[in-house]
């Protein structure tokens, strides 16, 4: 019997489709190339090298067996790709920032609002609490002339606490340094540990769905796997360590072939609908490796990455840079993009200070030592640029590097930036510098980062490769539900929430079009992933 739906990829987008359709009673198979995490409290670590080393770290892009090398990419320029394989994908290391897109960036923004609201309730997304670094940033931004944005919809240049997919602190969380007091249920929500990029396994002893940071690993995936318990759905099936290598179409049947990364065994299953959610590098790679139609050579083209930059201030007083959610405050500048505070742990801070497009800008040697003489006297701001789609920035198949066990590998080329993108980035870096100076920084450096591919989008672009429902223009019954289907860089805001809202809409469209069902967003109330019914379902399922 064919499945109803196969979802390829359990990162930021795929689990949203899986959960929504499992809740409707469909037979959903969720494939993930990386590992499942049985016991994050024991498996994960706050040690940066253990967690984030790009070759050997828990959150590298590679197979679950860390004795093996990570999966290779052909990257023919100075750049750094920061992606994670495993259930939860890059939401494992993300900061949980969940702003909506700039309203002018999406033609159907008003129509998308109910889907935003659905996701915001499900994750849930909550207004970030303040620590020292957050108050310092917002006071300085106010001093620099920015008003406070008080709605989720961005209406003007303004600063605000982040809307984060992080549970607000309750009980002892945020109120003590003592480990023994920071155990669930005494501590609930964010404990201000400062380790968002190392994965969030806190508070200790909290049920899986009540961990502070709302990666899909603790929100959408558990809901998908227990859809028969918290609602009248059907539990989705999850296969980790399953690297999809081919998608095929024959009549109305869609087939997915995957390779078990432990045994090397190939398996093929049939489904009525396939949803590609392998991320903006692997989704076009899978498409191209599958030999699916690419009539206008648009698959993989137009990669955007927010052309991130980094501005760092050094202070003579305490900033609390290493404590609390990694990014809990931001300022948005319609027409340009955004800036957001990026607190950090020492390794990542050092990495950020030594990366640049320009050799002379890197902070090295005695100067690096001076900057890092006290992590909690720094304040870093990430610049997130509204970058233009350019066709020469693209994902193709490498003809230089040797194919791996999953076929020809992806080549990621970043060849150009528009003049407008460069100008927006300069504008935002200048605003970040103003905020740092208004906060009292003694010394400010702008890094002019080489491309750091953290927010990667638009390689299977809406309008070019998929339609407004995120269904392929070339092959019906194949959908895309990850950042690659975004039509543009959203005006600058972090992409995950918008991708998740679109994935919710895509799930609805799949259900209506191919399974004869009714839509639900706007007609029903969403169930939060922290609802007692979900907690009970997670416990009953032994997750």
Partner 1 sequence: MRWVESAFAATQGTLDALAEYVVADAKLAAATTPRLIRTLDRFLPGPQPLSATAASILDGAAAQVKPGATFARLTRAQKAQVFATLERLPVESAGSIRFLVGNLQDLTAFLAYSTPRGRRLARFAPGAHGHKELKGYWRAP
Q: Does 157 bind partner 1 (CB under 8 A)?
A: no
**Ramachandran area for residue 502 (φ above 0: left; ψ -120 to 50: alpha; else beta):** alpha
Among 264, 295, 360, 542, binds partner 1 (CB under 8 A): 360
Among 107, 108, 156, 177, binds partner 1 (CB under 8 A): 177
Question: Rounded to the nearest whole angstrom, what is the least distance from the CB of residue 187 to partner 1 in the complex?
Answer: 7
**Nearest 5°: CA angle at 489, between 256 and 362?**
105
Write the secondary structure of 261-277 as one string of H (helix), E (strand) and C (coil): CCCCCEEEEEEEEEEEC
Residue 228 CB burial class (10 angstroms; 0-12, 13-18, ≥19): middle
Give whichever of 113 and 368 is closer to partner 1, judged by the CB atom. Answer: 368
CA distance 511 to 504: 11
Binding pattern for the stretch 76-115 against partner 1, x by CB under 8 A and - elsewhere: xxxxx-----------------------------------
The structure tokens listed for 204 are: 């200790």
Question: Rounded to the nearest whole angstrom, what is the least distance from the CB of residue 59 to partner 1 in the complex?
Answer: 13
Tell me the site size for partner 1, rule CB under 8 A.
84
Name 159's Cβ contacts closer than 8 Å, sequence gap at least 6. Answer: 137, 138, 141, 142, 146, 147, 148, 149, 329, 330, 331
Question: Rounded to the nearest whole angstrom, what is the least distance from the CB of residue 78 to partner 1 in the complex?
Answer: 3
The residues pairing with 248 across neighbouring beta strands, listed in sequence order, are: 255
Binding segment for partner 1 among 200-208, 331-339, 382-390, 529-537 (CB under 8 A)?
Answer: 200-208
Q: Does 372 bind partner 1 (CB under 8 A)?
A: yes
Question: Rounded to the nearest whole angstrom, what is the least distance from the CB of residue 191 to partner 1 in the complex?
Answer: 3
Question: Rounded to the nearest whole angstrom, what is the least distance from the CB of residue 160 to partner 1 in the complex?
Answer: 8
Q: Does 148 bind partner 1 (CB under 8 A)?
A: yes
Among 150, 151, 263, 525, binds partner 1 (CB under 8 A): 150
Name 457's Cβ contacts closer than 8 Å, sequence gap at least 6. Answer: 280, 303, 304, 305, 483, 484, 486, 488, 489, 490, 495
Give whichever of 79 and 242 is closer to partner 1, judged by the CB atom. Answer: 79
Binding segment for partner 1 among 95-103, 198-206, 218-226, 293-301 (CB under 8 A)?
Answer: 198-206
The reply to whether omega before 185 is within 30° of 0 (cis) is: yes
**Nearest 5°: CA angle at 5, between 404 and 125?**
90
Give whichever of 366 and 542 is closer to partner 1, judged by the CB atom. Answer: 366
Binding segment for partner 1 among 19-27, 220-228, 241-249, 358-366 (CB under 8 A)?
Answer: 358-366
Question: Rounded to the nearest whole angstrom, what is the least distance from the CB of residue 45 to partner 1 in the complex?
Answer: 9
CA distance 281 to 451: 15
- Binding to partner 1 (CB under 8 A): which residues in 267-326? 320, 322-324
CA distance 254 to 239: 18
Question: Rounded to the nearest whole angstrom, what is the least distance from the CB of residue 372 to partner 1 in the complex?
Answer: 5
Q: Which of 448, 472, 452, 475 is nearest to 462 (CA)?
A: 472
Dihedral through CA 483, CA 159, CA 325, CA 54, nearest 10?
A: 40
Tokens 């870096």 sit on residue: 429
- Binding to partner 1 (CB under 8 A): which residues in 43-72? 46-49, 52-56, 68-70, 72
The SS3 assignment for 512 reads helix
Among 175, 262, 437, 513, binds partner 1 (CB under 8 A): 175
Q: Does 338 bind partner 1 (CB under 8 A)?
A: no
Binding pattern for the stretch 19-48 against partner 1, x by CB under 8 A and - elsewhere: ---------------------------xxx
Among 20, 120, 355, 482, binds partner 1 (CB under 8 A): 355
């Amino acid at each position: 019997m064919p499945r109803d739906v196969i979802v390829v990829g359990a990162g930021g987008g795929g689990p949203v489709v899986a959960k929504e359709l499992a809740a409707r009673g469909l037979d959903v198979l969720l494939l993930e190339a990386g590992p499942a995490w049985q016991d994050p409290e024991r498996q994960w670590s706050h040690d940066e090298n253990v967690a984030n080393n790009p070759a050997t770290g828990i959150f590298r892009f590679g197979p679950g067996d860390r004795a093996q090398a990570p999966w290779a990419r052909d990257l023919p320029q100075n750049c750094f790709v920061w992606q994670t394989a495993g259930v939860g994908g890059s939401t494992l290391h993300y900061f949980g920032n969940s702003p909506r897109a700039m309203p002018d960036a999406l033609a159907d923004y008003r129509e998308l609002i109910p889907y935003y609201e659905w996701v915001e309730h499900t994750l849930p997304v909550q207004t970030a609490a303040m620590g020292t670094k957050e108050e310092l940033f917002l006071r300085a931004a106010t001093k620099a002339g920015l008003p406070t944005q008080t709605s989720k919809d961005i209406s003007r240049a303004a600063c605000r606490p982040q809307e984060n997919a992080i549970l607000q602190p309750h009980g002892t969380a945020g109120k003590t340094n003592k480990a023994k007091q920071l155990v669930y249920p005494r501590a609930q929500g964010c404990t201000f540990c400062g380790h968002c990029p190392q994965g969030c396994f806190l508070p200790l002893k909290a049920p899986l769905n009540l961990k502070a940071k709302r990666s899909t690993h603790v929100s959408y995936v558990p809901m998908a796997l227990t859809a028969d318990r918290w609602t009248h759905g059907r539990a989705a099936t999850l296969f980790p360590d399953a690297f999809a290598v081919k998608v095929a179409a024959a009549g109305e049947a869609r087939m997915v072939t995957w390779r078990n990364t432990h045994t090397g065994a190939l398996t093929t299953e049939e489904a009525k609908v396939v949803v590609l959610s392998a991320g903006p590098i692997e989704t076009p790679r899978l498409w191209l490796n599958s030999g699916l139609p690419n009539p206008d050579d648009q698959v993989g083209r137009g990669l955007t990455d927010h052309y991130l930059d980094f501005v760092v201030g050094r202070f003579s007083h305490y900033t609390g840079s290493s404590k609390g959610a990694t990014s809990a405050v931001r300022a948005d500048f319609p027409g340009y993009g955004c800036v957001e505070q990026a607190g950090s742990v020492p390794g990542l801070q050092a990495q950020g200070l030594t990366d640049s497009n320009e050799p002379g800008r890197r902070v090295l040697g005695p100067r690096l030592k001076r900057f890092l003489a006290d992590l909690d006297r720094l304040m870093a701001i990430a610049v997130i640029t509204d970058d233009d789609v350019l066709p020469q920035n693209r994902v193709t198949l490498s003809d230089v590097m040797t194919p791996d066990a999953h076929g020809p590998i992806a080549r990621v080329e970043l060849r150009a930036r528009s003049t407008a993108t460069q100008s927006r980035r300069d504008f935002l870096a200048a605003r970040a510098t103003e905020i740092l100076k208004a906060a009292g920084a003694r010394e400010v450096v702008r890094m002019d980062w080489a491309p750091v591919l953290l927010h990667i989008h638009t390689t299977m672009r809406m309008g070019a490769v998929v339609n407004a429902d995120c269904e392929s223009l070339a092959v019906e019954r194949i959908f895309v539900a990850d950042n690659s289907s975004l039509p543009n860089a959203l005006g600058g805001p972090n992409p995950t929430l918008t991708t998740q809202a679109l994935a919710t809409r895509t799930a609805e469209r799949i259900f209506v079009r191919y399974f004869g069902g009714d839509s639900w967003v706007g007609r029903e109330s969403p169930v939060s992933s922290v609802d007692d019914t979900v907690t009970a379902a997670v416990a009953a399922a032994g997750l």
